[in-house]
Amino acid sequence: MMCGGGWPAAKLKLGFRSEVSVGSSEPQRPPSPHPPGDRHLEPSAPMDPLRRSPSPCSSSRPSSPSTPPCEMLGPVGIEAVLDQLKIKAMKMGFEFNIMVVGQSGLGKSTMVNTLFKSKVWKSNPPGLGVPTPQTLQLHSVTHVIEEKGVKLKLTVTDTPGFGDQINNDKCWDPILGYINEQYERYLQEEILITRQRHIPDTRVHCCVYFVPPTGHCLRPLDIEFLQRLCQTVNVVPVIARADSLTMEEREAFRRRIQQNLRTHCIDIYPQKCFDEDINDKILNSKLRDRIPFAVVGADREHLVDGRCVLGRKTKWGIIEGPLHLALHQSGILSPNSPG
């Protein structure tokens, strides 16, 4: 039985047990300060109704790191949980939504096709007399890629028209609005009482920002956009068409961009909040030291040492392989990457 305020009736009667029996001439003796069966109970006092008795769940417990391991008498099948999760993940597949942002002519579509080694996005270069779009437009395309039984539902969102105008003021508003809209849509589905068993995930997981290979530093447009974008989504800046720079120019350009990112407090992926242990800290530190990644895109296959590879053919050789594609070598888009 519960009294007002959610208090057990037995506890509230503890300080007010001076009832008088009806029809009895002998007055009721006051209760003993030490009721039988409780040798540690203090003398009764009026109970403060605002003071809640400690819950048995809130008793002092040792923290998780100091909790001693339980000695098991035999196997209980805990290792089967990993197999069950793997089977479930293989059946459902994975979803990855990537957005590419940059000016026209930086090879965004070609880079996406090279990264996933498939015709994910068809680039349509504007012909002669085709005007540049006056407003930024967002186009998305979805494909299902399967490799060794693992299915990946890949959604690529392109942003044609970004930075192509003379006046690029607030050209980032449609991009930020789209990203926040996907967050809100997923949140509204998740807070429903009778929600779907599998909520379609349209949130942008990663935004790859293509920096023009000028060899100098970040432009004011790049800085302004990255400052706003890093507060909303994981940002990975890359140096587009890095094969147009020499090795020395590329390294100097990377260091200047890193200095710009630190000066303007641009928090790019992987953020330091992902450094959960010493291994993550070492891995993420190596990734941050290599950002922005130097990338080269190619959509044509060439025969190298008896095998077909994607690369760009020049007079002095074919540009291909992980040494020329830092984004692949870093593994930043792999399932084991942090975040």
**Amino acid at site 180:** N
Q: How far apart are CA 140 and CA 159, in angstroms?
A: 9
Place of tokens 């020329």: 324
**CB neighbour class for 133 (10 Å; exposed up to 12, middle 13-18, buried from 19):** middle
According to DSSP, residue 138 is labeled -
Please give the structure tokens belonging to residue 322. Answer: 């992980």
Q: Which residues of the chain have pLDDT under 50?
A: 1-26, 37-63, 128, 323-324, 334-339
Strands (E), 49-201: 94-101, 139-147, 150-158
Query: What sign results for the dihedral spanned by CA atoms 322, 254, 169, 202?
Result: positive
Helix (H, G, I), strand (E, B) or coil at 113: helix
pLDDT at residue 17 in the model: 45
Question: Residue 224: what pLDDT?
Answer: 95
d(CA 18, CA 27) in angstroms, rounded, equals 10
pLDDT at 202: 94
Closest to 274 in 3D by CA, of 266, 261, 285, 264: 285
58-100 confidence digits (pLDDT tens): 444 444 556 777 787 888 888 889 889 888 888 888 999 999 9
86-123+134-269 is classed in which CATH architecture?
A: 3-Layer(aba) Sandwich (3.40)
8-state DSSP, 215: S
Q: φ and ψ at 239, to 5 degrees?
A: -90, 110
User: Domain-by-domain residue ranges, the chain?
Assistant: 86-123+134-269
What confidence score (pLDDT) does residue 125 get?
A: 56
> Residue 250 in 3-state DSSP?
helix
